[in-house]
Structure formats: C-alpha cells, structure tokens
Chain A
C-alpha cells in the first residue's frame, strides 16, 4: 500500500510500527550474530553482552504490544492495515523468541568456554551462518513487503533441518568415541537445537509476511528436511 491515508497521523503510526519491528529485528539479528561469534571465538565477554542485551528486545516487544493494542482500539483498522498490525504483533512474538534462543546460545557458549574444546566441529557455526542469513532475508522481506522473498526463505528451512540432523549424528559419534566429550557435546546439541528453532521462527515470520501481503495463508506444503525422529506412520507399521 503506497497511497497515503487521508488522516496523516495514521500513516505515521503505521510507519512507527514498521520501524519498531525493523529495529527489533535488527537487534535480534545482532543477538544471534553475537551468540554465534562468542561460540566460535570462545569470547566470554561477547557472550555476556549478548545475555545482557536480551532485555532490550523484550522491551521493544512490550512497546509493540502496547502500540498495536492502541492502534486497534483507536483506528479500527481493516484490510491491509489490519493485517499489517496483527502481523506486526505476531512477528514481534517470533523475534522475541529468536532473541531468547540467541541468549541461550550465549549462555551455553559461556559454559563451553570453561571446558576444553571438543573436536573442531564446523557444523554448528555453519548452521549458525545459514540461519543468520535466513533471519536477515526474512527481515528484508518484511521491510520491503516482498512476498516472493518471504516464500524463498520459507522454503530454505528444509536446508536447516538437514544440517541440524547431520550435526545431531556427528555429535552422537563424538560422544560415543569418548564420554569426556559428553558435556560439551550436549551443550553443542542444545545450541544447534536453539539455532534450528530460530530458523523455525524465521519461517513463521515468512508465513506472516505472506499473509499480510496477500491476505491468504501460504497454501502449498512446506518442504521438510531430514528429521532426527522416525516417521510416526512408519513406527505404527513396524509394530
């Protein structure tokens, strides 16, 4: 929607909401980057800064909540405006979770920095970089209201699933090789899981963008990567 409202202050409020989400997204993205860097570089200072900064994301989420409720009450939005406001509310929830997971990665990085490193595993940073890229893309798609970009991100989650499953197997192998690796590997496993969950939230955001641009949910089914869990229908057959 490029045309302006007759009531200009309404436009200003909607763009303020978009800016809040963009700012929150930027922060969440930086948190994820910081957490991954703290892990790769074994940088405890950085990890601590990431943990401390999580509250900033929570604050913006509260601001988004208050502001959307106000817009709903005072403007009674409809059509694209309504979808935009409800979408912003949902996206802020996803971004808050993304930042939470990033903070958890940083906490585990702090623990890992206290113990000797396990075999160099390139898998976790690689997964981190892929998910960072996805989060960046989905935030661009939001700012540009670019549905095609959002759908592209949505499909990329398959790659994240595959990479996570690969890591899961790799870490199990290390643990079996030497039980002294277990503590580090379990933390790495949780880190990988957290990053994978961040990818899922980015996927949610992509779905919300599709809804707010098109007014309909994405109809096709999402390509799913390899899972670490067996197919339940297969289990039923085996029994």
Chain B
C-alpha cells in the first residue's frame, strides 16, 4: 500500500460539501489474472452524487465494490492502491469491515428485502449494530428511516407485513430505508433503478436528490439520462480505465475525451 499523502492525513471527521469524502488513488483490481481496474484515481466529494458510467465490463461496478470492500468476498480478487474514507485507509488491516460497511451502505440492482416484516427489514441493521437503547428508540429509527426514504406514508399501516409483498419500487425504497437506518455517511448504489418502472424510478431519483443533503452518494447506472439527472459529477470508465471525470454538466454537453463523446452519444463500436 502506498503511504497516504499529507492531504489525506489532514482530513478528519465528517467532510464538508466540496471536500473529498472518499478518495481513490492508483487503485488496481485483479480477478485472478484479469486486470479489471487499472490505476484509477478519483475524489468523491461529500454531499454530492457521483455517477459512474460506462459499458458493461468497464470496471464501474468493480470500483463501486472496492469502496466498501465488497470485493473481499470474491475469491481471487486483489486490490492495490489507496482508498480513504475521511482520510483513513479503508484497507487498513486493523479496520473492522463490518463497521466500515455501516459507514458505507449499499443498495443493489435488484431490490433484496429480507424475508421479514417491513419493520424488521429496517430494524435489522440498528439491532445488530446496537444503535437503539430501547424499543421506542428502535421504532423511532425505523419510522424516521422510512420517512427519509419516502416510503412511510405508503406502509405505515402495515409495518408488520412482509417486505417482499411490496411493489418493486417500494421494495427498493425499503432497501434504501434499511441502508440509511444505520446512519451511514456514504451510500453506494449499483443500478438501483434498472428493475423499476419510470414512476418508481422518478421517486428513487427524487429520493437520491433529497438524501444528498445528508449523505454522499455514488451511483452506478447504465442510464445516461439518469446519470445526467441525478449526479453532480460523472466518471466514465472504459476497459478498466477511468477515461474522464468531471462535472456532469460538462460531461454531457462538452466532454473532453473522444471516447466519452462516443459512448454518451451512442457511437460505440
């Protein structure tokens, strides 16, 4: 592991808007012999939505999974380089991965509620992390998480019913409520709307925009329009390399790299 630079070390505590929340420096990922991510460096700013775009197999999901060490779970995966959260190396040997994943939550492509009640789905995280002192505390966390996920009004009368009985869009918002119930600082989203209809997608996008105030969000999406709608900054990956990273507005009106232009305008071979 390279030594953290002075700038990283100077950061501490919760980052402010515009400052780096998560920083990747020269990150490489190998799956066995396959070099899946090549020397990627980028800064993810606090309280912003950063979109990762690129064709299938370009490394964007691999990069996302590096940010909360989900790649640890894949056999033969090897990560080099430095990734810091508020300046602290997240691959440090002394770091508790479970704690890390509480600080960096994740929402997946397919809504994956537990086969439990709506209430228990959201209460699960706070329970295992011991975040509630009493059942009243726990209820407050569950209700406020569902409210922040924009789901509470729709489910308040059936909290004891199974989460799997909700519609796809509601299930995804339930998963977002579950992710925010443990008060994460960063939320990673891996194509969170690809299984949703346009109205459910719009609700999730609206939610992402609201959540930005309190969380730092990184979203992988195949929908260019979604990246354009929800993010402030966009990173374009191709064949494991970070080709271009900049303000979303600039990427979609005047990209600097030919490859980016080719991809976003649909001229990709």
Contact = CB atoms under 8 A, between A and B. Distances in A.
A5 B261 CA distance: 11
A225 interface: no
A79 B268 contact: no
Given A215-B253, A216-B254, A78 B267 contact: no
A110 to B, nearest CB: 46
Contacts of A81: 265
B13 interface: no
B268 A78 contact: no
A3 B253 contact: no
A197 to B, nearest CB: 30
Contact of B262 (A3, A77, A83): A3
A78 B262 contact: no
A80 B264 CA distance: 10
A76 B252 CA distance: 11
Nearest to B267: A3
A7 B267 CA distance: 8
Interface string B219-234: 0000011001000000
A81 B225 CA distance: 14
Contact of A215 (B254, B265, B267): B254
Contacts of B266: 5-7, 10
Nearest to B256: A215
Contacts of A7: 266
B252 A79 contact: yes
A1 to B, nearest CB: 7
A82 B267 contact: no
A4 interface: yes
A5 B253 contact: no
A79 B265 contact: yes
A5 B254 contact: no
Given A1-B267, A5-B265, A5-B267, A79 B253 contact: yes
Contacts of A76: 225
Interface in B215-269: 224-225, 228, 252-255, 260-262, 264-269
B255 A79 contact: yes
A216 B254 CA distance: 8
Q: Which of A6, A79, A83 has the most CB of B within 10 A?
A: A79
A106 to B, nearest CB: 40
Interface in A183-239: 215-216
A138 to B, nearest CB: 22
Contacts of A3: 262, 267, 269
A78 B261 CA distance: 9
Contacts of A6: 266-268
A76 B265 CA distance: 9
A79 B261 contact: yes
A36 to B, nearest CB: 38
B268 to A, nearest CB: 6
Q: Which of B225, B264, B268 has the most CB of A within 10 A?
A: B264
Given A1-B261, A3-B262, A82 B268 contact: no
Nearest to B260: A79
Contacts of A10: 266
A82 B225 CA distance: 13
Contact of A80 (B261, B268, B269): B261
Interface string A61-96: 000000000000000111111110000000000000
Interface string A16-45: 000000000000000000000000000000
17 contacts: A1-B265, A1-B267, A3-B269, A4-B267, A5-B265, A6-B267, A6-B268, A10-B266, A76-B225, A77-B265, A78-B252, A79-B264, A80-B265, A81-B265, A83-B254, A215-B253, A215-B254
Interface of B: 224-225, 228, 252-255, 260-262, 264-269
Given A80-B265, A82-B252, 16 more contacts: A1-B265, A4-B267, A5-B265, A5-B266, A5-B267, A6-B268, A7-B266, A76-B225, A78-B253, A79-B252, A79-B260, A79-B261, A80-B261, A82-B253, A83-B253, A215-B254
